[in-house]
Structure 1
Amino acid sequence: MSTTLVAAAGSLRGAVPTDSFETPGTKDFWWPLIGSDTNSFTFTRPALVWILSCILICWFFLSATKNLQLVPSKRQWLTEQAYGFVRNTMGQDIIGSKNFKPFIPLLLSLFTVILLNNIAGVIPFVQYPTTGRIAFPIVLTAIVYVVYHVTAVRHKGGFGKYLGSLTPPGLPGWLKPIMFVLEFLTYFVIRPLTLALRLFGNMMAGHLMLLVFILGGEYLLLHGDNPFINVSGAFSFLFAILMMFFELLIEFLQAFIFTLLTAIYLADAVSDSH
């Protein structure tokens, strides 16, 4: 674990200044590989991690399901567990046994790609949650947004009927416009906004927290001018270890919550009552 922390200290932001400590900030989320701030096109390390994670997931699922066996291999067993978890917990139980099957590929893809990119935040020499860049949660949310509204329009029988379903029946006439505006904002603005910001905010905050304790601990341990400061740096490293395990839990929960909310929104889209 100490080797992991040393690697993390180097990979999180390069070299720490020997004369002063620079407080971690949002600039630590910008790692260009090709191009720079002044270029119109910049290929960043988070983008590379995202591409590699998608390739890894595709390879894993294809290789695990190529030769299915009655007694599963470890890879097949892990695939079945992930599929069963998403299918039963977030598909059938939330959307319903009648309508859940067409959405399982989307839910499984969302869960696995978010989970793997979240876990990248504690992988040595990567040490960066890709979803801590707002662009990635926005793209995932846009996919959910389009699927949700297209499904709702088809199920309700047209865009006009879909908009009409936003207002519950039986309301007084004066209350219907107010309720329509509130529901419209909820379904077209608030839901996608909170879905993206929740994932982004938690991953960015967790990364910054690890930056503070790992880089700050390294600085205090190696550059402190008295034993008390050095000991404080060692305790900072120990606390960083605890935070890494806590961050693993948060990374799983955020992948689960994003996928679960997607299932809830899809269940609402195919429901007859709303």
Structure 2
Amino acid sequence: MTGFSFTSGDGGFHAPNIDEELFPPALLFDGTPFEISRVILVRLIAVAILLLLFWIALRRPKIVPTKLQSLVEMGVGMIRDGVVFDMLGERIGKKYLPYILTVFFGVLFMNITGVIPLLNISGNALMGMPLVLAICTYVAFIYAGIREAGAGTFFKNALFPSGVPWPLYILLTPIELVNTFVVRPLSLALRLMLNLMVGHLLLVLCFSATAFFFGMLNVWSTMGILTLFGGFFMTLVELLVAVLQAYVFALLTTSYIQLSVAKEH
């Protein structure tokens, strides 16, 4: 993990400091608007690897694909056919497929850094990146609604659902306003951040406890073995969460666009 401290002067175990884990000191350009901490560096590495893999896989696509090309095409096909075209239809889906694919693979690669040795933290474990992604989705579904359904229809459907007696709009419209234009982006960002942040802290706790039991006590203690296996188990769980959260983010993004482009709710 990071350079956490798990002992104190009394030789006892102390849990890693959350501030040090989630808000590490600057590595470059300290005190400037371009300050780069460990989390920012992890995000840059994730984006660079994502771009590199796609460039290698697709720069010269083959009729008989390579293993990497097949893997990339499988991921693209899963989101394209199983999510975007299934929910939006092919005609509308093609317009928003590039953005939804970018969201899926971007979130996936930034999530996976949480279980990669030497990186060991997700680029989405802090609020900044999930919030940026949520704002982009917020803009995307509003843009899609105005473009496909028209501004009047989009805002009418969002704020005045059909089939409701008009006096109820006094109560319902403010609720729909908050739900559509505030809760949606915030829930996207918070769901992603909290899942990755909690997972990172659990991994740090497991492996710091293992280091304490094996290192400080200098014995292969039962607790050390248990925490080690606990850490490996949580690593597998975090890998599953990384993929699942990327899929959920893409699915919800598509769902919001689908609701926006509908002629009537």
Q: Give the TM-score normalised by structure 1.
A: 0.88
Query: Which segments of 5 or more consecutive residues in structure 2 lack a partner in the other structure?
Result: none
- Correspondence for 1:198: 191
Q: Distance in 1 between matches of 2:17 and 2:184?
A: 28
Contact 2:47 2:109 in 1 (8 A): no
Specify the SS of the correspondent of 1:67. coil
Q: Distance in 1 between matches of 2:155 and 2:212?
A: 57
Q: Distance in 2 between matches of 1:269 and 1:162?
A: 6
* Count of residue correspondences: 259
- Correspondence for 2:28: 34
Higher mean displacement: 62-71 or 251-260: 62-71
Query: Which segments of 5 or more consecutive residues in structure 1 lack a partner in the other structure?
Result: 1-10
- Correspondence for 1:93: 86
Q: Give the TM-score normalised by structure 2.
A: 0.91
Q: How large is the RMSD of aligned CA atoms in angstroms? A: 1.9
* Counterpart selection for 2:221 from 205, 230, 238: 230
Contact 2:203 2:234 in 1 (8 A): yes
- Correspondence for 2:65: 72
Specify the SS of the correspondent of 1:131. coil
1:56 to partner: Cα distance = 1.9
1:191-230 deviation per Cα after TM superposition (whole angstroms, max 9, x unaligned): 11110000000000000101111101211222239x6x93
- Correspondence for 2:259: 268
* Counterpart selection for 2:15 from 23, 26, 32: 23
Higher mean displacement: 205-214 or 90-99: 90-99
1:156 to partner: Cα distance = 2.8
1:15 to partner: Cα distance = 5.3
Map 1:99-138 to 2 at 5 A: 99-138=92-131
1:89 to partner: Cα distance = 1.2
1:14 to partner: Cα distance = 4.4
- Correspondence for 1:57: 50
- Correspondence for 1:207: 200
Q: Distance in 2 between matches of 1:264 and 1:25?
A: 38
Contact 2:6 2:15 in 1 (8 A): no
Amino acid across the alignment from 1:233: G
Amino acid across the alignment from 2:15: T
1:104 to partner: Cα distance = 1.2
